[in-house]
Amino acid sequence: MTGRETPQAASRGALTPLRAVLLDVDGTLMSRGQPIPGAVSTLRWLREWGLRMRLLTNIDSRTPETVCRELSAAGLEVEIAEIFTPVVAALRFLEQRPGERCHLLLSAELAARFAAHDAGEGRADHVLVGDCRELAGFAPLDAAFRRLMDGAGLLALQRGRWWQAQDGPSLDTGAFVALLEYASGQTARTFGKPSVDFFEMALADLGCTAAEALVVGDDPENDAGGARAVGAPCVLVRTGKLGTRGVEGDQMAVMVIDSIAALPALLEARRHRRTTATRGLRTGRHPS
Ligand SMILES: [Mg+2]
């Protein structure tokens, strides 16, 4: 384990009780459709510790129900209410705007999930872009572009540049969002990580503050960047996007561990520091 944290951050973190964990999925709990060694036991350990959790993932090709079924089938003990994806955030956004309709640029599975908000051939208030792997060439992108030129706003489930597919790096939704932004001159409203709204919505769901939650992920931009933006502590694992790279600049405040398997030991050490620091405060000693 190679933990790094500034002494100030360590002292501050040690004094705040941890109540919840925001866990990334791909590269953190799962890799190539299989649980990462230690993921199953760490989830169980977090529950036994009484921590609440949300699986905060940018998966934008499948419904939260499908994600929950897949994780359960892989042996991870999760509940549907704990799955927090951009699909959840976008559905909440649209449910608050009952008259508004979307032109959908989504996978078939998600198009069915958003059917109640589908503009069909009618006027669209928004173009909603998610995973574009099922797109059949130029025509669907051009149709979406025309809706934007007719006055629709641009909504993006997430704006990742690329993702690690089984056979190599692959274009992610953000590449198509950028294409539509460039052509239309619009800036998309983005639902997924690292959007501050997304993290705040998950924290509100958990009923805790950012300082009481820990973000755990593999992506310096989406996970550590989002955590920093809301003021939550963050742990990065090396089993995904970060790999063996170092962390730089203001990311030095995050902890880096080899994998999710090392999280229980890290949190035990944090609890020990907190107990020691609290005892030190009670007796008037400065926490060491
Ligand atoms: Mg990830």
CB atoms within 10 A of CB 111: 16
Centre of ligand 1 to C-alpha 236, Å, is: 10
Residue 252 banded pLDDT, cuts 50, 70, 90: low
Centre of ligand 1 to C-alpha 218, Å, is: 5
Centre of ligand 1 to C-alpha 270, Å, is: 24
Residue 287: pLDDT above 60? Answer: no
SS3 70: helix
- Whether residue 153 contacts residue 189, with contact meaning beta carbons closer than 8 Å, is answered with yes
SS3 128: strand
212 to 21, 195, 227, 233: CA distances (angstroms): 9, 19, 12, 9
Judged on CB neighbours under 10 Å (0-12, 13-18, 19+), 48 is: exposed
Residue 253 banded pLDDT, cuts 50, 70, 90: low
Centre of ligand 1 to C-alpha 114, Å, is: 25
Query: pLDDT (tens digit, 9 = 90+) per residue, 215-228?
Result: 999 999 899 999 99
Centre of ligand 1 to C-alpha 27, Å, is: 5
Residue 251: pLDDT above 60? Answer: no
Query: pLDDT (tens digit, 9 = 90+) per residue, 111-156?
Result: 999 999 999 999 999 999 999 999 889 999 999 999 999 999 999 9
Query: pLDDT (tens digit, 9 = 90+) per residue, 62-107?
Result: 999 999 999 999 999 999 999 999 999 999 999 999 999 999 999 9
DSSP secondary structure letter of residue 247: P
All domains of the chain in start order, with CATH: 7-85+193-282 (3.40.50.1000), 99-190 (3.40.50.1000)
Centre of ligand 1 to C-alpha 264, Å, is: 19
CA angle 163, 233, 222 (to 5 degrees): 20
177, 181, 224: which is closest to 22 by C-alpha? Answer: 224
Enter the tokens of residue 45. Answer: 């350990």
Residue 136 confidence (pLDDT): 84
